[in-house]
A and B are shown apart, each in its own frame.
Chain A
């Protein structure tokens, strides 16, 4: 079947293109030894945060509901992914990683259902508050969780003595010490593939009837209901997919370090991801990718300069404020809009494109 490309699908392909090009360039630079070890160590987390930003954008930008607990889903994914990877000692790294990411995304999705079912009946600020609380609850639960593995399977307890394990059993999560002795299965390639999968899922979802229904809910809930859109169903769909992707990113993130503590996934992380999304432009997938990559690497790069090390977070904050002021500058906005270059304009194209103009083909 021949299908002419619409603006929307072109926009989607540009996003794939950007990610693939960045990956190839980085691979090339690495082969040439032109990338510092600091930057190399950032590659996997950057991939994770890009996935986090895209998935949060699904909730905040496309569904239009504010979530302040996205790191909670990441946390669920990280720890369940670690447990899964540790339980599969006898397998080779690649299937272990894939299984861990799958388990992580399922854990994230379950968390999404758990929070979403009662909470998506709420709107606006209330949802934000509940998701914030959820993120904190997850963090605090994992602090008191002791998980061990032995021949008989997984043992979970909140007793600080830890579960009684048989010979040869290992502790995976040690309460406040978090997960320890984690195999470093994550790789840049895995992160790259996960970004592509995330793009595939989110972009195709947005351009299907479900995506239209979700955006219709965002724009006008009452009108959406009046044309037969089931509000709870579609809100939950967007929210759970977003949580599942966050869980997958979390699993990859967790398997990139030999130890992980739950405080890594606190409120600050949730806000950090929200900052990526807002600065990248609500609803703009490309914006999320670019801003997550730049804003995550920026403070780390600032470490490199001796004289600003101490003031690094201050400089980061100043840059954020400068970016916000610039992109909200009315004069600049109108200029960009005239040329249709703004992220909003690109988003407009993304949505206005009217996918799949298949003039007479396919029959």
Chain B
């Protein structure tokens, strides 16, 4: 845990989940999920298929309301918040199956995410009053800056659906950054990528952490990626945390090995 001790010295965790859980009918999809995330941390969330990783994301972004427990952003309870309110609270995500605004341009995809930071009204927009021009100019610049970090400045006018797969994944991350979020939840960002693209993605993730000062929670099946960039890893199986700690600790935990490879009964 040496990598994360520095972060833990200062202040409250940016995100804290306490005994978080959800039941669908009689099925405990996630239960007793405890976790703390400190500023600037990069935590991996792994587990076999169907373990409940994406459900955790859905709980943390307000898509599902937890049936037990609670979670806090900067010490503030987030119970009962809807997805669009969670974005305002500073948490943004990407999706396992890419969800872009496919018929909008790359630039517009990013601009949409600035919506909550803009203040001109519908009427000001229709009448093109000064505030419209001022704010539109500002987000045009900011959106292009973000896209430049992702080396996508050459593709601003392309429709999102026409981008190659790897770039679509990147655009999704860029869009999440544009919301101004301080916590990013990345749901299998390397899924379907070839080794070169994965390597590029790892660089991007490391870069945005420092560049935008975000804390990242990452679901990933690509173990080489998880082991090399995450400071801490949380392993869940059947909706419960079975191990957490540094990549080395987790990789050598018999419970984790059992969950992935099957255990001798």
Contact = CB atoms under 8 A, between A and B. Distances in A.
Interface string B222-237: 0000000000000000
Given A205-B125, A205-B126, A229 B112 contact: yes
A205 B159 contact: no
Interface string B156-167: 111100000000
Task: Tell me if A's interface is mostly helix, strand, loop or mixed.
Answer: helix
22 contacts: A1-B133, A205-B122, A205-B125, A215-B101, A216-B112, A219-B104, A220-B101, A222-B83, A223-B100, A224-B101, A226-B61, A226-B93, A226-B99, A226-B176, A227-B112, A227-B115, A228-B84, A228-B87, A228-B116, A354-B105, A354-B157, A358-B133
A225 interface: yes
Nearest to A354: B107
B261 interface: no
A298 B30 CA distance: 62
Given A209-B120, A356-B140, A223 B95 contact: yes
A169 B197 CA distance: 79
A230 interface: yes
B157 to A, nearest CB: 5
A357 B144 CA distance: 11
B125 A208 contact: yes
A339 to B, nearest CB: 17
A348 interface: yes
Interface string A186-221: 000000000000001100110011111101101110
B126 A204 contact: yes
A212 B122 CA distance: 12
Residue in B82, B125, B158 with the greatest tally of chain A CB atoms within 10 Å: B125
Which 3 pairs between the two chains have the least Cβ-Cβ distance? A208-B125, A228-B87, A228-B116
B175 interface: yes
A223 B92 contact: no
A351 interface: yes
Contacts of A3: 133
A226 B92 contact: yes
A204 B125 contact: yes
Contacts of B103: 215, 218-219, 283, 348, 351
Interface residues of B, number: 47
A356 B86 CA distance: 30
Contacts of B125: 204-205, 208-211
A212 B99 contact: no
Given A228-B113, A352-B157, A357 B99 contact: no
B128 A352 contact: no
Contacts of B107: 354
A98 interface: no
Interface of A: 1, 3, 200-201, 204-205, 208-213, 215-216, 218-220, 222-231, 237, 283, 348, 351-358, 362-363
A100 to B, nearest CB: 22
Contact of A208 (B93, B126, B159, B175): B126
A210 B135 CA distance: 13
Interface string B96-118: 00011111110110011111101
A227 B104 contact: no
A355 B136 contact: yes
Interface string B66-103: 00000000000000001110111000110100011111
Interface in B104-154: 104-105, 107-108, 111-116, 118, 120, 122, 125-128, 132-133, 135-137, 140
